[in-house]
Structure 1
């Protein structure tokens, strides 16, 4: 029973339509070939699942030469596979006109062909020599995984993480007994702060809107952060605001009357806790 060649195994592992019905039947019966397809499929899957959207940069010209040297590949694959450079016409013509070597001792290809037709048994799994094409696929896949992994690690290391630095339970005012709310302050690690509020249990009155405020503890000053259109919203806290002073979070009903001042009709309010 002859085995599938390495190039066909590589293409099947990557999901290319390279296998015939006979090849698929062979994979069911042959442990050697099935094991190689499974191993290469795992490498291809890891490489594909690690790729993010966007164009990949072309590797420098010396990358393939280093891979070629590390793997000890033959001169037949010395050219960079990613290069568009083709040999001059004179070289191509010279190669085409080169004399065919006379018959002699069996070549390595003939030896492989002789071994392929020799009887093999499922109970004895024998190692197979990988072709240069197979080694290139494995080397390129692993290099891609390592490069992407390093990029993800660097991005996670250098990107500041957001953290909740304060929170508050917002209690209802007497005119809005069913209302309840929550608030929290987030810091993105670079000093930018946001206030996120949620409000439930109180319907918006037609013609009015809801506004979010930060109020100083003594009640003598307040800052509007914006309009709350839905049941929750996130608002940027100005860098100049000292949250040690403006600790009260307030959500109010405001009439559309052109007056930017607080209407006095608060729905919920609560004090930020920085513990």
Structure 2
């Protein structure tokens, strides 16, 4: 029994309609029907990555694993810059592998065109290639998915400020880093280098650029503190981070004695 041309099976798997004769053959030929099913599976796996969106390039170890899985040499590995071989890498690979590829091409040509090579043997080789490609695509999707998931569960730094000393506290310095958590909540971490106060306490503030409004984030205990940023605070307006020295007098307003202050720079 003659079988359908492998190229036609590939086109049908990609969505090209089969003719009545081809459909009738697939209904009666288990071998061609199985090969078509394997090709359709590969197409489904490949197309399943389209909706993933913009993805981070996986680490080099992912491409190394794929190259090892497929038995590729170092020159055949894809660059991590978008998963596409760099131009110079492609040129070196083409030059280095030309004799080997020529030999391989001749071997494949002999196998496929030789009358002595039975059709089942050729189809088994094609099946192995199909499954290798499907496994490689699945490996890429799994690696990128894991990479994206890990990245999405980490807080993202959105702004940083260098806190400069006021004249009354010349030796003080500090930094403030604002991060946004996966749930959208924002936090500011303040690190302060300054002498411990003999009395009173130190308080962290967010202040508008023109100092017309301010909000207290809390008391700084020690040299480092993490404070939640209220949801209704627009950090594009409250761009100044301030640490003040406050007396223990029960007055919730700013004492006017700032230790350090700095403006947020956004990522």
TM-score by length of 2: 0.44
Greater CA radius of gyration, 1 or 2?
1
